[in-house]
Chains A and B, each alone.
Chain A
Amino acid sequence: MNRTTRIMFGLLMLAFSSAGFAGADDKCLTCHESIGGKAVDLFKRDVHHAKGISCAGCHGGNAQSDDMEKAMDPKAGYIGVPKGDDISRVCAKCHGDSGRMKQYSSHLPTNQIENLRASVHGKLSTNGKERIVQCTTCHDAHGIVPVKNPGSPVYPLNIVKKCTQCHANAALMRTYNPSLPVDQLDKYRTSVHGMRNAKGDAKVAECASCHGSHDILSVKDTKSSVYPTNIPSTCAHCHSKAEYMKEYKIPTDQFDKFSRSVHGVALLQKHDLGAPACNSCHGNHAATPPGVQSVSKVCGTCHALNADLFSSSPHKKAFDDRKLPECETCHGNHEIIVATNKLLGVTSEAVCSRCHNESQNVKGFATAKAMRGLIDSLESREKRAIALVNEAEQKGMEISEAKYKLRDAHQARLESRTMVHSFNEARFQDVVNKGIVVSASVSEEATQALDEYVFRRVGLGLATLAITVLAISLYVYIRRLERHQAMGGK
């Protein structure tokens, strides 16, 4: 052993001893084993014990001494049982130090403590003296095993129980956030994820899969993985991985489709928090695909009028008889595109034509055709009114009142799109007529404004001409007068 090697070895030993490294010569464990106790039994299974870290690693003191006074002497760094934030501080001594972690051949990240402090659990607890959660709250104290070990309290199959120790405790949760639900576990057990998890499938989503572990943020925090605009990518983390999802035999293109959909564009591109994310239709803790009969109820939470009209329409029975999912049959599910007039009618693009044609379901065919004609007519009249108003406005005419009325025409068109779901031509026509009347009135006002524009130009031309003629006449008169005066006249 050369000099350099000796020095390196010496430094290594010093470092290990300072962290409570005692190897086989752990006098703490020797004594406490003789006293007995649950902590000792658990610690013998602990990953830290396996790595050679003694009790002194966390509790301080001298693990080499068999003299209790010396071993547990505060001068030797003995701190007893850490309390409050000291617990996490003791853990962070190694888990926040990449150098020390390397000594134990660990590749665990070393930012957990920072993440925990920044998380919703890192806030001060109700006693105001310590943070809400310490490392041991989830990982336990003496029997800590790696997360991948089925014995770990944070192993995927166990974590739900661990989280709900607090989160299902209404009395406790009330002290922090009275409005936070405490039924997540019950809901989770009804979800596909929860049921599979209960059967021992460690791959399915549990609490940490969506909320994160050390870095859990409030759902209202824009950086939270469960903030509405982040939910689709959080779900896609698993659901878009074909290999990961292979055994479940479900598609993995939902995220791509959703991103292209009217809802996805609103949520992900326009950051419209009113737009639905995955959980709006599937639920969050109770996530499950909506059944055929409940599709319209799910969509109806936002599209209430459409759902009501559909339920009282003749289509309701027809769809039920054929076991067709209500909204989804015409609009699709994840890739719901903007509903344009093209969906209505009897052309090849129209969804009505899938069931109605000239020889089959003829009544519906005629209704669809008539409704399409009506809505097209409303749209073209509205467009004409808009064009006229824009032209008049561009020409500097005051047309704000007519422009304001255009809202009514637009509103009528939106209402008519809703009324489509009644599949009742007469009711549909009533709404369309309302829009047509408004559009006609706006067009008339805009046309009058444009006529007025022409009138003003013509009027100006005539007035200018008259003033110019008058000015020239006056000029000629002055010249004649001054010539007359110059000749001596008066």
Chain B
Amino acid sequence: MNTFWSRLYSWADERVKLGGLVEYMGKKYVPVNRHSIWYYFGGVSLFLFIIQVVTGILLLLYYKSGELLAFESIQFIMAKVRFGWLIRSLHSWTANLFVLTAMIHMFSVFFGKAYRKPREITWITGMVMFFLALGFGFSGYLLPWNELAFFATKVGTDIAGAVPIVGKPMMVFLRGGEDVTGATLSRFFGFHVALLPGIFTVFLGIHLLLVQRQGMSEPLSHGDSPDTERKTMPFFPNFLLRDMLFWLMVLNLLAILAVFFPWELGKKADAFASAPAGIKPEWYFLFMFQTLKYIPGKILFIDGEVLGILVFGLAGFLWLMVPFWDRKSSRGETNRLINYVGIFVVFYMIILTIVGWIV
């Protein structure tokens, strides 16, 4: 058997020169420290993205876009297609876990100041992917064309429409008209399966390339230790095997969630029906949604909702640009302000999400 693999390797090596890559991989080391656990969330996010792609492609085999067929095709997938229920449930649960692990990954990078020079582009590409993931969630939520998704999209695009100057045209562009209709479904489908995956893949490629090229960032406190005292482990096979171990655990969790909590389909969307009580967006938008509910209708001369959106936009932009304004971390100095900002954001998001869920 070994002979077979050796011969196969030699065959490939002769043609594409694998030697250099294998040598590079063999020399690649991952830092080991008390924060190492957070390194795995990037890998898990990648694993979940791969599951998303695979289950998404499988769903595409049966899903039919359009307001007349979308709901029925999901119903068909759930009831008639062999393991269709599993694929749909996996796709829905993975989407949520993907956002969660990407969020954890983002905060671990933020608190570890791993965005500092020379990893600014890695941070930017990661953040862009995170925003794209939210776009995946928002566009995918509408695709089953059920009542909840219909009204959540209506509310979501209404909020987008409140942005000054560009809001209205953006809302019309997203909806494919003034209202949420079959046209909205068609373009959300297009965004979800073509546009977003295309852009995402480019950023993912750059992100992974940079991670491989620059290696894992170490916490600032480790910067002073001499190289001989720094603990590391080989990327291949040690880190990769541990990564896979984590993936298997996540896969187990996914299987349990998909079987015990199958994703419900609800009622078919009806544009003429009144909105059901307690319309809420997906959990990862809930803290923003809840904040907008608390903002008074008018603050000075500005509309409360508009102000809220502008503040969130500005906060998001500052978050994205953190490598460029956190000069201290880039110089290798401790920046407590960043920690306080991060802790505030984490608590704010958790509390507002819980409140939004309960209220």
Q: Is B265 an interface residue (CB 8 A)?
A: yes
A322 to B147, CA, bound (A): 60
Do B238 and A481 have beta carbons less than 8 Å apart? Answer: yes
Residues of A within 8 A of B237 (CB): 481
Q: Is B349 an interface residue (CB 8 A)?
A: no
Q: Is A398 an interface residue (CB 8 A)?
A: yes
Contact among A398, A468, A485 for B252, CB-based, below 8 A: A468
CB-nearest residue of chain B to A470? B248
A93 to chain B, nearest CB (A): 51
Do A460 and B259 have beta carbons less than 8 Å apart? Answer: yes
Do B75 and A400 have beta carbons less than 8 Å apart? Answer: yes
A400 and B79 in contact, given A467-B251, A474-B244, A481-B237 (Cβ under 8 angstroms): yes
Do B259 and A456 have beta carbons less than 8 Å apart? Answer: yes
Do A464 and B256 have beta carbons less than 8 Å apart? Answer: yes
Q: Is B262 an interface residue (CB 8 A)?
A: yes
Q: Is B78 an interface residue (CB 8 A)?
A: yes
Residues of B within 8 A of A464 (CB): 252, 255-256
Q: Is B85 an interface residue (CB 8 A)?
A: yes
Q: Is B249 an interface residue (CB 8 A)?
A: yes
Q: Is B242 an interface residue (CB 8 A)?
A: yes
B294 to chain A, nearest CB (A): 35
* CB-CB contacts below 8 Å: A226-250 with B: none
CB-nearest residue of chain B to A478? B241
Do A457 and B79 have beta carbons less than 8 Å apart? Answer: no
A470 to B86, CA, bound (A): 21
Do B241 and A481 have beta carbons less than 8 Å apart? Answer: yes
Do B259 and A475 have beta carbons less than 8 Å apart? Answer: no
Do A471 and B252 have beta carbons less than 8 Å apart? Answer: yes
Do A471 and B249 have beta carbons less than 8 Å apart? Answer: yes
Question: Size range of the interface on A?
Answer: 20 to 34
Do B255 and A467 have beta carbons less than 8 Å apart? Answer: yes
Residues of A within 8 A of B256 (CB): 460, 464
Contact with B along A477-490 (1 / 0, CB 8 A): 11001100100000
Count of CB-CB pairs between chains A and B under 8 Å: 53
Q: Is A350 an interface residue (CB 8 A)?
A: no
Most A Cβ at <10 Å: residue of B252, B255, B260, B264 = B252
Q: Is A171 an interface residue (CB 8 A)?
A: no
Q: Is B245 an interface residue (CB 8 A)?
A: yes
A456 to B256, CA, bound (A): 10
Residues of A within 8 A of B242 (CB): 478
A457 to B86, CA, bound (A): 12
Do A401 and B252 have beta carbons less than 8 Å apart? Answer: no
CB-nearest residue of chain A to B237? A481
Q: Is A146 an interface residue (CB 8 A)?
A: no
Residues of B within 8 A of A478 (CB): 238, 241-242, 245
Q: Is A332 an interface residue (CB 8 A)?
A: no
A398 and B85 in contact, given A456-B259, A478-B245 (Cβ under 8 angstroms): yes
Q: Is A396 an interface residue (CB 8 A)?
A: yes
* CB-CB contacts below 8 Å: B242-298 with A: 242, 244-245, 248-249, 251-252, 255-256, 259-262, 264-265
Q: Is A163 an interface residue (CB 8 A)?
A: no
Q: Is A463 an interface residue (CB 8 A)?
A: yes
Do B252 and A467 have beta carbons less than 8 Å apart? Answer: yes
A460 to B257, CA, bound (A): 10
A283 to chain B, nearest CB (A): 40
* CB-CB contacts below 8 Å: B189-219 with A: none
Residues of B within 8 A of A463 (CB): 255
A144 to B343, CA, bound (A): 90
Do A482 and B238 have beta carbons less than 8 Å apart? Answer: yes
Q: Is A299 an interface residue (CB 8 A)?
A: no
Q: Is A399 an interface residue (CB 8 A)?
A: yes
Do A401 and B79 have beta carbons less than 8 Å apart? Answer: yes
Do A457 and B259 have beta carbons less than 8 Å apart? Answer: yes
A467 to B260, CA, bound (A): 17
A485 to B238, CA, bound (A): 10
A467 to B259, CA, bound (A): 15
B238 to chain A, nearest CB (A): 7
Contact among A398, A471, A481 for B79, CB-based, below 8 A: A398
Residues of B within 8 A of A457 (CB): 259
Do B255 and A460 have beta carbons less than 8 Å apart? Answer: yes
B9 to chain A, nearest CB (A): 18
A482 to B260, CA, bound (A): 37
Residues of A within 8 A of B234 (CB): 485
A458 to chain B, nearest CB (A): 10
A278 to chain B, nearest CB (A): 37
A399 to B242, CA, bound (A): 41
B28 to chain A, nearest CB (A): 15
Residues of B within 8 A of A399 (CB): 79
Residues of A within 8 A of B79 (CB): 398-401
A399 to B262, CA, bound (A): 13
A467 and B248 in contact, given A398-B79, A478-B241 (Cβ under 8 angstroms): yes
A490 to chain B, nearest CB (A): 10
Residues of A within 8 A of B78 (CB): 398
A453 to B245, CA, bound (A): 29
A460 to B86, CA, bound (A): 10
A228 to B137, CA, bound (A): 53
Do B248 and A471 have beta carbons less than 8 Å apart? Answer: yes
A485 to B255, CA, bound (A): 34
Contact with B along A432-476 (1 / 0, CB 8 A): 000000000000000000000000110110011001101100110
CB-nearest residue of chain B to A396? B262
* CB-CB contacts below 8 Å: B48-107 with A: 75, 78-79, 85-86
A456 to B85, CA, bound (A): 10
A156 to chain B, nearest CB (A): 51
Residues of B within 8 A of A475 (CB): 245
A403 to B36, CA, bound (A): 52
B288 to chain A, nearest CB (A): 30
Contact among A396, A400, A460, A474 for B248, CB-based, below 8 A: A474
CB-nearest residue of chain A to B258? A460
Contact with B along A44-55 (1 / 0, CB 8 A): 000000000000
* CB-CB contacts below 8 Å: A11-59 with B: none
A470 to B245, CA, bound (A): 9
CB-nearest residue of chain B to A395? B262
A399 to chain B, nearest CB (A): 7
Residues of B within 8 A of A470 (CB): 248
A396 to B85, CA, bound (A): 11
Q: List the 10 closest A-B pairs by CB distance, nearest first.
A: A398-B78, A471-B248, A398-B79, A460-B259, A467-B252, A396-B262, A474-B245, A478-B241, A456-B259, A467-B248
Sample of 12 A–B contacts (CB below 8 Å): A399-B79, A401-B79, A457-B259, A459-B259, A460-B260, A474-B241, A474-B244, A478-B241, A478-B242, A478-B245, A481-B241, A485-B238
Instruction: Identify the A interface with B (CB < 8 A).
Output: 396, 398-401, 456-457, 459-460, 463-464, 467-468, 470-471, 474-475, 477-478, 481-482, 485
